[in-house]
Amino acid sequence: MKPFRLDIVSTYRAPLYGFAILWIVIYHATIDNVDFSFGIEQLLWFKGIMELGNAGVDIFLFLSGVCLFFSYAKKPTLHDFMKKRAVRLIVPLVVIDYGYWIIRCLVQDPDLGTAMAHFVLKATTLEFWFTGVASVWFVSLLIPLYACYPLIHAFLFESPRGNAAVRLVVLEALIIAVDLSLWAYVPDFYYMIEIAIGRIPVFVFGCFAGKYVYERRTLGWWTWIIVAALAVTFVSLKPTDLIVVPWNRLFQALGGISLSYAICGVFAIFDRPGVPEKPAAMRFLSFVGGFSLELYLTHIALNQIYSFTPLYMEGALLPYLVVAAAAVFAAWGAREYAIEPVSKRMLSKEDGAHRDRAPRRRP
């Protein structure tokens, strides 16, 4: 059998992002009580799979850590690295959400001062950390994680003592200790933000794995057995109450990592050697993966707008699918005609301003 390639998540990064975001979109429907068994007992397993869609977030975070290593390996200046990350997160937020948030804040808060204060909390993504409102909690988490990446990278890979695996264990242990301390001593605050802080370990592991994905390391074929066992264990136990808070997020991290590789393994099976054209399903997933963050933001906004209208019907599948399809088209349009041009312009201005400067290396 072929060896286990760690870089398979890089090879199939685009369709994996697409799979993850569509799984998340479907998961949002289950929160709204859409029944994906359609009342048929034999389809209860399908309903269960759809209800596991929040694992798509863990796939996202794992891939984010991996991809940041690839970006950092190009040895950009710290300023350039941070600016590209900021542009990637903030421009989609401004284009997709700011207009909607301004209108919503003005409608909900007739007092202009209160409305603007509410908008500032949303616009800075601080609302989640202060109030627990989780509409865009994923971006609220990514901003500090991206900002901390250079420190994480330096701790894992640039220390002259020890090896990266030992330092990973130390860092993960510290994160888990903080997580458990919040759970034990400030439970109200912990439960308000646990959807985010409980997922930091999977991002950090992605930062660690990025080096070995980048170097195209391989493991024995038996690694596929371990990955499959972890994925099956996650799918089997996650719907039960056996894994409780605060350990559930760590269990889900294992699920997200193992599913990332298991799903890519399936892609590899259908990706026929010597055939340049990918299967149609993979091409579609790759297409959607190209604007996954935009789809996440757009779908949440459109779903909220739909819930405020007289057309809203809790648990109705057809309207939800219409909203999801509209979100795909709107997210693609926003990415293609607004976000991408604005982002390129912002970054090209920066390149022009630094064109005559000598390149600087990170210390």
The residues spanned by each domain of the chain are 4-353
Res. 163: pLDDT tops 70: yes
Residue-level pLDDT at 355 = 47
Place of tokens 């190009």: 74
Residue 353 above 70 pLDDT? no
Q: Are the CB atoms for 314 and 32 separated by under 8 Å?
A: yes
d(CA 173, CA 183): 15
210-263, pLDDT tens digit by residue?
A: 999 999 999 999 999 999 999 999 999 988 878 888 899 999 999 999 999 999
Tell me the residue ranges of DSSP E strands in the chain: 4-5, 218-219
Residue-wise pLDDT for 136-147, tens only, equals: 999 999 999 999
Q: Using alpha carbons, list the distances in angstroms from residue 286 to 20, 135, 196, 232.
A: 11, 25, 26, 25
H/E segment holding residue 293: helix 292-308
Q: Name which of 194, 148, 137 is nearest 171 in CA terms.
A: 148
Q: Locate the DSSP E strands across 1-71.
A: 4-5
- CB 20 within 8 Å of CB 240: no
Q: How far apart are CA 349 and CA 298, in angstroms?
A: 27
Does residue 282 register a pLDDT over 80? yes
User: Residue type for 129, please?
Assistant: W
Question: Which phi and psi (to 5°) does residue 182 adopt?
Answer: -65, -40
Residue 17 burial (10 A CB sphere; 0-12, 13-18, 19+) = buried
> With contact defined as beta carbons under 8 Å apart, do 295 and 288 qualify?
yes
Nearest to 172 by CA among 66, 252, 64, 250: 250
Count of other CB atoms within 10 angstroms of residue 42:
7
Q: What distance in Å separates the CA atoms of residue 115 and residue 120, rounded to the nearest whole number?
A: 9
Mean pLDDT on 157-166:
86
Q: Which of 146, 214, 201 is nearest to 168 (CA)?
A: 201
The set of residues, in sequence order, having a beta carbon less than 8 Å from that of 201 and lying 6+ positions away, is 172, 175, 176, 249, 250, 253
Look at residue 5 and give its three-state secondary structure. strand
Which residues contact residue 82 at a Cβ distance below 8 angstroms, ignoring those fewer than 6 apart?
146, 147, 150
CA-only gyration radius of the chain, Å: 21
pLDDT at 350: 56
Query: Which pLDDT band, with edges at 50, 70 and 90, does 102 fall under?
Result: very high
Residue with tokens 């005609």: 337
What is the rounded average pLDDT of the residues 12-29? 96
Confidence of residue 354 (pLDDT cuts 50, 70, 90): low
Partnered with residue 5 across adjacent β-strands are: 218
Name the average pLDDT for the chain.
91
CA 267 to chain centre: 20
